[in-house]
Structure 1
Amino acid sequence: MNFKKLFLSACLSLSVSQVAFAERVELDKVVATVNNGVVLQSEVNVVIDRVKKNAEQQGTQLPSDKTLRLQAVERLVDQEIMMQLAERMGLEISDAQLDQTLANIAGDQGGTITDLRRTIEASGESFAAYREEIRREITTGQVMRANVDRRIYVSPQEIDNLLKIMESQGANNEEYDIGHILVKLPSKASPEEIEAERNRAEKVIELLNKGEDFKRIAIASSGGAKALDGGQLGWMGINDMPTLFAEAVKGKKKDDIIGPLRSGAGFHIIKIQDIRGRQVVETTEVRSRHILIKPSIILSEEKARSMLQGFVKDLREGKADFAALAKEHSEDPGSALKGGEYDWTDPSTYVPAFRDTLLSLQVGELSEPFRSTFGWHIVQLLDKRIADKTEQAKRNRAHGILFNRKFKEESFKWQNEMREQAHIEIFPAE
């Protein structure tokens, strides 16, 4: 009798264990495969939860959970493709580089990494998961930049032509806060498919004209990169927009709905959410010198930082010469032979970590070691001035406008190419 009870107890224990195991599998099941990688249900849940929290804070209505799931899976599939490319490229974001980015994020909010951690955990999220999400965002951004930049060329003639257009428009001090919805088209759409998607875009416009919330419709319907952000592209000047948008917004007013605008990607719908004037800002230039040490298999992150810390100590005590150290140790070929010096430069042209550190210094002050995307640096601010660089600034701005316009258009094409080359299978929700 006792043996039977013992056997029954063992069976019940096994059954409970099997159920618990089945529940764990169910919680983290595979919802999509991307080449040799997967997208998990838990990852989809994190994205959906974040969108819901943001929508609640902003008072934005959301579509159904089914629609949110589809959008979240699409975003995670694209992210998985980028992460696989990063692995093939050997691109890794170190903990030191990640910490520097988190410090910058916290600084923008007027706090420290500790403050940022408290904020994240107070919202119910894991700070460790948040760190890894930021690492993925940095990685995917660098993968895209590395692959798309080399596909873009801006000719001097293009710059001259744009400068003439800008001059003919006078001050051109208007910026537009743009909302965007994209109704996607397949790469080789048939006439019937094109007409069907055009009708769908028209129905979206009808809903918007009836007063439906733009962000909610964008989250539910848009195939654009900013869909889960409510289709918010932010503030842009005429010359910062894709040509298709720039032509469409001319003469339009706040709250106007424009579209559908046809491009190779599909049908675009844009809303002018606000309009504001652009202010002219004086150009600050700095003269500086730095030493760059790049971590490697042989030289660890900590060793590179410690090496520079030793240089800082010797320099402050007058035991070393900056130019001599730069010539001997700096791994920036453009400045090392000049004793680490950079000529007068607009600091905005530098990577964020270098720019922000440089602008925090007083003239003559030497920084502590800091990490950028290039490696570990120390930098000294030699001088600062306000310069009249009107003509050069116009030319630089024209180049930036053309580059950014081409980057936006080319990055979308490149992402579509990468997606078409990938083997993707998305499993329907049960």
Structure 2
Amino acid sequence: MNLKKLFASALLTVGLCQSVFAKPVEIDKVVGVVNQGVILQSEVDTIINRVKTQAAEQGQELPSDDTLRIQAIERLVSQELMMQLASRMGLEISDSQLDQTLENMAREQGGTIADLRRTIEAAGDSYPAYREEIRKEITTQQVTRMNVDRRIYISEQEIDNLLKIMETQGKNAEEYDIGHILIDIPGDATAEEIASAKTRADKVIEFLKEGKEFKRIAISSSSGSKALEGGQLGWMSINEMPSLFAEAVKGHKKDDIVGPLRSGAGFHIIKVQDIRGRQVVETTEVRSRHILIKPSIILSEEKARDMLKGFAKDLREGKADFAELAKEYSEDPGSALKGGEYDWTDPSTYVPEFKNTLLSLEKNEISEPFRTQFGWHIVQLLDKRVADKTEQAKRNRAHQLLFNRKFKEESFNWQQEMREQAHVDIFPTE
């Protein structure tokens, strides 16, 4: 029997016993049945009182008590259905998991669990009851996520379509500070004159990439209308630029040199001097190689570590080849055949010990043996770079936006289906 139903029956028994000796006192009552569970009046009152308290603090007007009662009961029905489903799924939130959540909540408020408890009790609420409410919230969130996630599918085409919309909307906000140099071509130029202009344009780009000052070169070399201003066209959005420039600067970063771009006027060279209104996402990536030795009944922890220590010594002295050692001895099937090498990777994807060791190395440096959950390693940092992940970040954001929208839709549909399949009986008020 459901615990709340058993509790309600016990309360009814207490009421009957009291009626023999005195006027019965109603402690609690059942206001609805949800499959094998019940909804108690005290639960409804708790929600209504909380809503009224919050509304009073915020100076907000509320609908009638009858409307609040209906809303509270609907919330409790939905919660009871999900808790019943969690029970059937065997989903339980442990005390340690609950305490971790409460600790995180307290930390976000700048305090400790003890501070959180004092705040709850100062408001006249029971901390143990509050704790169980949070457990229910975590449970219902996990049940919803587990059942709704599998109903959602997002195609690459949907992401592409949304990215186009986002790009169009973002063009007005994204602006570029443009420097411009024009190497002109006469209208009746010969092939030799065009080739000569192209050569001069290439030379200008070469100077710029060597770090020569853009404004100075523009003043001395450009035939553009802003030559005397150092070729400064100023801030402009994609929509304000000539279409030739707009297409060319798309996707470029600050300080990039673009060109030469051919038009009827000549060869254009553009410098993206700055960008505003764009979110640029950059990530450090590393290329590395490692050798993994796993301790076993035959090979002890000490022997595995000493084996790698010997490898590292031989490698530093040039007596061994890393790739050959990895192919022969490494027990990482994903990299051993490649000489222990990993391609460019965000180090945050590695386990902490591997990541921290890798980031502490200089280029080409070989680590001392270190332990992870997989075994003993030595690792060599081959190279490090800063990668522009802006486009990937945009795709991730588009995917998340689509997921959030579909999650809300499917969550509502799922709860409606669950409600239609359930036996729900709400008793009228007296």
* TM, length-normalised to structure 1: 0.49
Q: Which has the higher contact order (CA 8 A, sep 6+)?
A: 1
**Structure of higher CA gyration radius:** 2
* TM, length-normalised to structure 2: 0.49
